[in-house]
């Protein structure tokens, strides 16, 4: 739009200079044809040069091209004075030569743009009156003298007003485009932030359900090995009938199990870094992966826990997100059984229900009070996964409610929150039934999309 305005301004400059030259040249030609230059010819030259000088000074002082169409225009100084001087100079030239009548048309366009739609129309009207008077004084026909300048003034008003309307609409569209671009940028930033937050939450769940649970198992095994070594280093541990040799073998077994758990954790970490897919699902079905988790859980419990895995319904492959969620929930639930339940038996049941799949994890442990879990979750504004690395739910040893034979009151942890979040993301339901001394039953129900490939 600026280029168009520049083109119009240059055309207006050229037109005005050409018409002034035409008016002065015609007056000189008339004088020369009459026998010589007279005072009128020299006066026309003086008026023409003065008009061009005033026009040039005004163009250098007043930024006509970049004046915004919505900006206040028509102030007396300097624009009003400049236009008045141009009209006076043109009127004097018109008195000396009727050809100067044509200069009125570029003046009308300039007046409308510089003075604005209100004062510009008044200036155009004054220019039209002067043009009509000059035409009549020049001996032209009355009708032509009136209609010509009048139509010229109306055309100038209509063209300038139409052009400025187009400019306003273009500016409005540009502002709308700028707003849309800013809105799109803000939306993209919000989506990026949401994606980052979602990915962080997902990574926290993955770390909690894999590496953190593995480290917790290693810690339990090493604690048991440490207790066995206390018996080994006790005085008389290797006397006949003393428990030293048995304790040494037990400690070695715990250390071996810890090393195996560390190797599995390392493999899980490498797999996690590579593509974040569960390593247990890489070369096995979901049922097989659950059996591996059950074996590791029984091993981490030191032989005091029996874990069984059963499947019902017609087994089939499930979408990867569903299999991953079920496996992670089972891992986290069994880790809770080892760390907090004090159970002797745990059962994992996978049920294929046609348009859905269900997972149940049941243990015969000490259980807990769900109301205390809910209260603890409300009191913890932001769960800390690193704080819960040793336990998904439940207090650490030495905390209140952790006495032997007593149902330890769980605190707000990341385990239950992560399980609920996984299930909710897939549109499923998560339920937990437990009470002190009655064991715990966890149930997950996930719907399957019939159109999703299996």
Q: Give the residue from 322, 318, 323, 297 showing the smallest Cα distance to 308.
A: 297
Q: What values do phi and psi take at 359, rounded to 5? A: -130, 130
The reported pLDDT for the residue numbered 326 is 92
Closest CA to 296 of 322, 250, 265, 275: 265
- pLDDT of 46 reads 92
pLDDT of residue 377: 59
Q: What is the pLDDT of residue 428?
A: 93
Residue 60, both tokens: 């250098």
Using the CB atoms, write b or e for 266-288: b if 16+ within 10 Å: eebeebbeeeeebbbbeeebbee
Q: Compute the distance between CA of residue 416 and CA of residue 168 in angstroms, rounded to an integer.
A: 60
In the chain (454 residues long), the average pLDDT of successive 10-residue segments reads 65 87 89 83 90 87 67 75 88 87 86 81 87 78 75 84 82 88 86 80 75 80 84 76 80 84 78 61 78 86 85 86 89 86 90 91 87 64 40 35 37 69 90 88 86 45
Q: With the C-alpha atoms ordered 211, 215, 217, 221, is the resulting torsion angle positive or negative? A: positive
CB 256 within 8 A of CB 268: no
156/114 Cα distance (integer angstroms): 13
- C-beta separation of 231 from 247 below 8 A: yes
Q: What is the CA radius of gyration of the chain?
A: 47
Spatial distance between the Cα atoms of 387 and 420, rounded to a whole number of angstroms: 19
C-beta neighbour count of 264 within 10 angstroms: 19
Count Cβ atoms below 10 Å from residue 108 Cβ, excluding itself.
27
Distance CA 424, CA 129 (A): 81
173, two tokens? 């569209």
Report the first-to-last Cα separation within the chain, whole angstroms.
58
Q: Which residue has the tokens 């926290």?
A: 204
Contacts of 5 (CB under 8 A, 6+ apart): 65, 66
Task: Give the span between the Cα atoms of 54 and 101, in whole angstroms.
Answer: 18
Contacts of 50 (CB under 8 A, 6+ apart): 89
Tell me what pLDDT residue 230 has: 81
Task: Name the residue among 407, 12, 391 with its Cα closest to residue 217.
Answer: 391
Q: Which residue has the tokens 């030569």?
A: 97
Strands 440-447 and 429-434: antiparallel
Report the C-alpha gap between 393 and 412 in whole angstroms.
7
């Amino acid at each position: 739009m600026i280029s168009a305005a520049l083109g119009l301004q240059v055309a207006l400059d050229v037109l005005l200079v050409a018409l002034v030259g035409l008016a002065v040249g015609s007056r000189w030609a008339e004088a020369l044809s009459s026998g010589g230059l007279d005072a009128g010819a020299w006066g026309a030259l003086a008026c023409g040069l003065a008009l061009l000088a005033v026009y040039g000074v005004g163009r250098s002082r007043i930024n006509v091209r970049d004046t915004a169409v919505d900006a206040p225009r028509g102030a007396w100084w300097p624009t009003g004075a400049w236009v008045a001087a141009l009209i006076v100079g043109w009127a004097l030239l018109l008195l000396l030569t009727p050809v100067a009548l044509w200069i009125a048309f570029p003046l009308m366009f300039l007046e409308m743009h510089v003075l604005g739609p209100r004062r510009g129309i008044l200036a155009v009207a004054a220019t039209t009156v002067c043009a009509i008077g000059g035409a009549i004084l020049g001996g032209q026909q009355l009708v032509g003298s009136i209609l010509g300048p009048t139509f010229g003034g109306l055309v100038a008003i209509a063209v300038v007003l139409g052009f400025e309307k187009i400019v306003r609409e273009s500016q409005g569209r540009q502002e709308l485009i700028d707003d849309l671009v800013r809105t799109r940028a803000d939306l993209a930033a919000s989506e990026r932030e949401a994606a980052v937050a979602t990915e962080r939450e997902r990574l926290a769940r993955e770390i909690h359900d894999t590496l953190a649970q593995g480290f917790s198992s290693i810690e339990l095994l090493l604690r048991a090995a440490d207790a066995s070594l206390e018996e080994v280093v006790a005085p008389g541990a290797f006397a006949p009938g003393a428990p030293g040799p048995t304790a040494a073998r037990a400690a070695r077994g715990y250390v071996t199990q810890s090393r195996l758990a560390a190797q599995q954790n390392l493999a899980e970490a490498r797999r996690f870094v590579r593509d974040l897919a569960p390593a247990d699902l890489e070369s096995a079905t979901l049922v097989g992966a659950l059996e591996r988790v059950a074996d590791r859980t029984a091993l981490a419990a030191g032989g005091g826990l029996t874990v069984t895995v059963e499947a019902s319904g017609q087994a089939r492959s499930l979408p990867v997100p569903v299999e991953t969620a079920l496996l992670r929930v089972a891992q986290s639930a069994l880790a809770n059984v080892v760390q907090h339940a004090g159970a002797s038996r745990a059962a994992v049941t996978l049920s294929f229900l046609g348009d859905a799949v269900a997972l149940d994890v049941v243990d015969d442990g000490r259980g807990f009070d769900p109301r205390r879990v809910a209260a603890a979750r409300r009191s913890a504004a932001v769960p800390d996964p690193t704080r819960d690395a040793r336990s998904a739910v439940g207090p650490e040893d030495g905390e209140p409610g952790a006495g032997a034979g007593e149902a330890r009151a769980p605190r707000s942890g990341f385990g239950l929150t992560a399980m609920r979040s996984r299930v909710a993301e897939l549109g499923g339901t998560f339920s937990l039934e437990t009470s002190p001394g009655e064991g715990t039953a966890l149930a997950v129900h996930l719907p399957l999309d019939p159109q999703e490939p299996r």
